[in-house]
Structure 1
Amino acid sequence: MSKPIVKIAAKPAMSPTGKRSKPSTPKPPVAKSAKSAKSAKPNIAPAKAMSKPKQGVERKTLHPRNLHAHGYDFSALMTSYPKLKTFVRPTPYGALSIDFADPLAVKTLNAALLKHHYGLAFWDIPKGALCPPIPGRVDYLHYLADLLFEGAPVQRAGQVSVLDIGTGANGVYAILGHQVYGWQFVASDINAESLANVQRIIDNNPSLQGHLSLRQQQDEKSVFKGIIQASDRFELTLCNPPFHGSLKEASEGSLRKVRNLQLNRGEQPKATSATLNFGGQAAELWCQGGERQFLATMIRESQAFAEQCLWFTSLVSKQENLKPCYQALAKLGVDTVKTIEMQQGNKVTRVLAWSFHSQAKRLQWRNQIVSGT
């Protein structure tokens, strides 16, 4: 079995601080064509392509189609969602912002963004659920659209089916994926309460009804097994894996983020577990073995569903987890592996994507879906 092609593409992003840009749909950059899967060795870019930017180097920007590349227009957001006014304050530099260490402020900002930019009439999450940053979540989706169209002009395609592994109580990937690109989603999670909340969001948004379906994972040791059914065909799978390997590790990581926010504002760190903004149910933040083990399970199980899925993808937060992923994928004999680097503010993450299909077959599959034939 031939070894996979591995491509690493450095992609940009920056922290939102300015005014909102107008929605636009420019053509994505033309990707380099994949080399033949008959390559004797994987073509892995040097490590420097994945390194963090040094001080003084121009910061990367969000994806060109990301509406949040120039920050938040708080005046417009408050007009669309008046509840946000309670939390908006001027900064020492004269701009408007919120306290990102305040969980209610962040949740209200998300609701405002989803209404103003993405037409969502209702969005809410239970106390303690993960409250995701919208710019970073939609960035992942924009890069997946580029991946699917492989250099061709990206277009809305209601026939595209996507599987969201671990949708959480917020359901943001499925919501944004449908609202931005018209994709159909199956959203899965192991937590019944999380799925019940996503269903509540769907029930209160007519634009989502009939386009998002929910499935519960019954086995905590499985990823695709028990979720993908025999009749399913997905153009994309996506996932934001649990980052931590234990509840203690997850709590310490969340507390560290809040303390860093306070230090950046010149305050004395004083956050406690009761005031954490970076909430998240257990299944959203940690699992046995952490991100590395979760990815290993996902890769191993993907082989059984190779003919049903065009592209498998996942976020990878820890760079050191990429090498074991490449090794596992090479053993499975996948055709193509791509790694796309994303950055939001100081956070660097990567999209790992793999396909068991040749480029010719991928293009044929995609064209049939887009044309509806």
Structure 2
Amino acid sequence: MQKKREHPKVKSQLHPRSKHRERYNFDALIKSSPALTAYVAPNKYGDNSIDFFNPKAVLALNKALLMHHYGIKFWEIPEHYLCPPIPGRADYIHNIADLLKGNGTKIPKGNTIKGLDIGVGASCIYPIIGNHEYGWSFIGSDTNENAIISAKAIEQKNYNLKSNVEIRRQEKSNNFFYEILKPEEKVDFTMCNPPFHASLKDAQKASLKKLKNLKGKRPSKALLNFGGQQSELWTKGGEARFIKDMIYESKHFGEQCLWFTSLISKETTLKPTYKILENVKATAVETVEMGQGQKVSRFIAWTFLSDKEREEWINKRFKS
């Protein structure tokens, strides 16, 4: 056994309201989800941990986190679908809450606050966290039929989600808001975790690089420990093209949403995105940086409402 490392008590880079700022309490997690027991063992430093290169172990850990922290009773996803890292997903939700709060003192809570999760995925992760933490309701959209079936099962088999989450199939793969948002329907925010890569080859190359950095040697094949389907990992033109198309379409729904948002993985995507937002005459743009471990992530938010219209929106929907 190697000399035990001293770990900080709090992961200060995570959002102050995050439930994941302290190290995993495996005893508590196992109590919430006994199935995790099979994957927990002392690591080389003598600390209880799991093998983060074992997809089944990662899945079991995430299920335990959702049961322990978010009151989920049922959570199953199909094999080879994206198994999201919970702390990072929670940070996106908490930072959206701060965005909605604006300069106010209170975060808007309750199911009258509604979000649209574009690409809800098989895991239904953002509606789970957003509903538990703030009581928000959600529309979750996806183009993948199996993801829709999985997300609907999670929604139907968890009481709080059943009355606060609606899963809608996006039939046209090039659409974001068309066919999903109904005329006159309003949402307070949209969120999206875009496919980051421009091709399957790029996705595999990034995975190999990540694994090599973590393990110190080149692995024999690309093993994505969080899984992922094509639509979840890559798209033609990568995230820059994806977000560009989303922004142009969002212009047509400017009066139906307070804040549009999307994660941006690559810092190089920011500059062209700002230019596009200028072209479509977004009235306000925010870039929110988030930190998970050694990685810095971010999301961009934009609106087409004037300052007065945003104030009226907040007074009508958040303070009623």
TM-score normalised to structure 1 length = 0.80
Q: Which runs of 4+ in 1 moved over 4 A?
A: none
- Which structure 1 residue ranges, 5 or more long, are not aligned? 1-16, 22-58
Deviation string, structure 1 residues 280-328 (Cα, Å, up to 9, x no partner) = 0111111111100001001101110000010000000111111111111
Query: What residue number does 2:221 align with?
Result: 272
- Measured in 2, the distance between the counterparts of 1:232 and 1:72 equals 40
1:364 pairs, out of 308, 312, 319, with 312
Q: 2:100 touches 2:108 (CA, 8 Å); kept in 1?
A: no
Q: Does 1:114 pair with 2:66?
A: yes
- Measured in 2, the distance between the counterparts of 1:195 and 1:179 equals 21
Q: 1:18 touches 1:72 (CA, 8 Å); kept in 2?
A: no
- Measured in 2, the distance between the counterparts of 1:191 and 1:126 equals 12
Per the TM alignment, residue 250 of structure 1 is displaced from its structure 2 partner at its CA by 1.4
Q: SS state of the match for residue 14, structure 2?
A: coil
Amino acid at match of 2:139: V
Query: What residue number does 1:318 align with?
Result: 266
Per the TM alignment, residue 179 of structure 1 is displaced from its structure 2 partner at its CA by 1.3
- Measured in 2, the distance between the counterparts of 1:229 and 1:179 equals 25
Per the TM alignment, residue 155 of structure 1 is displaced from its structure 2 partner at its CA by 4.5
Moved more, 211-220 or 290-299: 211-220
Per the TM alignment, residue 269 of structure 1 is displaced from its structure 2 partner at its CA by 4.1
What is the percent sequence identity of the aligned residues?
45
Query: What residue number does 2:3 align with?
Result: none
2:139 pairs, out of 182, 186, 189, with 186
2:79 pairs, out of 127, 130, 154, with 127
Taking structure 1 as reference, are residues 296 and 326 closer, same or farther at Cα in structure 2, changes over 3 Å only? same
Per the TM alignment, residue 202 of structure 1 is displaced from its structure 2 partner at its CA by 1.4
Query: What residue number does 2:293 align with?
Result: 345
Q: SS state of the match for residue 208, structure 1?
A: helix
Query: What residue number does 1:64 align with?
Result: 16
Q: Does 1:332 pair with 2:280?
A: yes
- Measured in 2, the distance between the counterparts of 1:271 and 1:363 equals 55
Per the TM alignment, residue 279 of structure 1 is displaced from its structure 2 partner at its CA by 1.1
Per the TM alignment, residue 91 of structure 1 is displaced from its structure 2 partner at its CA by 2.3
Q: 1:129 touches 1:169 (CA, 8 Å); kept in 2?
A: yes
Query: What residue number does 1:146 align with?
Result: 98
- Measured in 1, the distance between the counterparts of 2:102 and 2:211 equals 39
- Which structure 2 residue ranges, 5 or more long, are not aligned? 1-6
TM-score normalised to structure 2 length = 0.93
Deviation string, structure 1 residues 144-202 (Cα, Å, up to 9, x no partner) = 00000103222422210100001111110111111111111110011011000011111
Taking structure 1 as reference, are residues 83 and 240 closer, same or farther at Cα in structure 2, changes over 3 Å only? same
- Measured in 1, the distance between the counterparts of 2:307 and 2:95 equals 18
1:164 pairs, out of 102, 117, 123, with 117
- Measured in 1, the distance between the counterparts of 2:67 and 2:26 equals 13
Query: What residue number does 2:4 align with?
Result: none
Deviation string, structure 1 residues 81-131 (Cα, Å, up to 9, x no partner) = 111111111123332211111100000001000000000001111111001
- Measured in 2, the distance between the counterparts of 1:282 and 1:271 equals 21
Q: 2:12 touches 2:21 (CA, 8 Å); kept in 1?
A: no
Q: SS state of the match for residue 207, structure 1?
A: helix
Moved more, 125-134 or 361-370: 361-370
1:1-373 to 2 correspondences below 5 Å: 61-152=13-104, 153-263=106-216, 268-273=217-222, 275-372=223-320
Amino acid at match of 1:188: S
